[in-house]
């Protein structure tokens, strides 16, 4: 069993990810294709929601990935701080814009869904508000990466920010809960309780979630590879100047 830390070697990472990237891309495309087509065209309209319920196939997976991307960044940041694992820091950097986009997708599809359901595009509901705050955290994180020139210092500082930000993101999540009671329905998916979503909608939703997870992995791999290549180019240019 090879150690996970082998992938600290960018060469090894590039080799492995060049195999994994097409696999994840294809699986993502298949899952999303199946899930979205099934969800949009082959499910009945829900009695109290009408056809707007179908936005769930984008909204819910995007919202899940928005949070999971931050968790992934937290883990990779910790690995960077402890093991000085360069690929890990680059993966965190690569994941941030994807997470931000997922947050934005969740916010926008939520607004589109909210208008016919709640009669308003935006309310200061706890979940909406905490997602907005998550979006701001992503913005700050990306801005800090962009602002610092020295790549190692940038990786260190953004890692510290990510850890502190996680604590405050969690705190905000419960703080806004406390501050106002909103319109959002309770969690519709859970592992231990009976599902609140009827089976007809549930199975395509699972496909969509799997598709989003694979899409996220594929995009992170792709962007990390780009970051590694960009860094190699920079190293080559530096060497050229030295010569």
Partner 1 sequence: MIALLQRDLRLAIRAGGGFGLGLAFFLIVVVLVPFGVGSDSGLLAAIAPGILWVGALLACLLSLDRIFALDHEDGSLDLLATAPIPLEGVVAMKAAAHWVTTGLPLTLAAPGLGLLLNLPAAGYGWLAASLALGTPALSMIGSFGAALTVGLKRGGLLLSLLVLPLYVPTLIFGAEAVARGIDGRETGTPLLMLTAITLASMALLPFAAAAAIRINLR
Interface ranges with partner 1 (CB under 8 A): 133, 136-137, 139-140, 143-144, 147-148, 153, 156-157, 160-161, 163-165, 168-169, 171-172, 175-176, 178-179
| Length, in residues, of the chain | 243
Residue 38 near residue 183 (C-beta atoms within 8 A): no
Q: Is 50 helix (H, G, I), strand (E, B) or coil?
A: strand
**Cβ closest to partner 1, residue 40 vs residue 122:** 122
Residues 6+ apart with CB under 8 A from 42: 204
**Cβ closest to partner 1, residue 43 vs residue 103:** 103
**Cβ closest to partner 1, residue 25 vs residue 166:** 166
CA quadruple 85, 91, 93, 95: dihedral, nearest 10? -150
**Cβ closest to partner 1, residue 137 vs residue 201:** 137
Question: Helix H segments across the chain?
Answer: 10-41, 56-83, 86-118, 126-147, 151-179, 199-242
Residue 104 Cβ vs partner 1, minimum distance, rounded to whole Å: 16
**Cβ closest to partner 1, residue 4 vs residue 164:** 164
Q: How many angstroms separate the CA atoms of 18 and 16, rounded?
A: 5
Residue 144 Cβ vs partner 1, minimum distance, rounded to whole Å: 6
Residue 124 near residue 95 (C-beta atoms within 8 A): no
Residue 10 Cβ vs partner 1, minimum distance, rounded to whole Å: 22
Residue 185 Cβ vs partner 1, minimum distance, rounded to whole Å: 23
Residue 156 Cβ vs partner 1, minimum distance, rounded to whole Å: 4
């Amino acid at each position: 069993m090879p150690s996970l830390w082998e992938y600290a070697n960018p060469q090894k990472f590039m080799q492995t990810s060049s195999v994994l990237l097409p696999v994840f891309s294809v699986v993502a495309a298949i899952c999303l294709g199946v899930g979205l087509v099934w969800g949009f065209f082959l499910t009945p309209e829900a009695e109290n929601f009408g056809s707007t319920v179908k936005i769930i196939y984008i909204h819910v997976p995007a919202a899940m990935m928005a949070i999971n991307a931050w968790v992934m960044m937290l883990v990779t940041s910790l690995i960077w701080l402890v093991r000085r694992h360069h690929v890990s820091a680059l993966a965190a950097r690569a994941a941030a814009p994807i997470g931000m986009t997922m947050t934005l997708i969740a916010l926008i599809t939520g607004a589109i869904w909210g208008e016919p359901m709640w009669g308003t595009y935006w309310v200061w509901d706890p979940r909406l508000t905490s997602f907005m705050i998550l979006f701001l955290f992503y913005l700050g994180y990306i801005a800090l990466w962009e602002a610092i020139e020295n790549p190692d210092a940038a990786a260190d500082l953004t890692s510290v920010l990510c850890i502190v930000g996680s604590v405050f993101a969690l705190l905000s999540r419960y703080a806004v809960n406390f501050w106002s009671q909103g319109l959002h329905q309770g969690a519709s998916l859970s592992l231990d309780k009976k599902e609140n979503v009827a089976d007809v909608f549930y199975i395509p939703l699972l496909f969509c979630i799997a598709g989003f997870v694979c899409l996220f992995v594929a995009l992170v791999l792709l962007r990390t590879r780009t970051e590694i290549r960009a860094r190699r180019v920079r190293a080559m240019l530096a060497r050229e100047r030295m010569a």
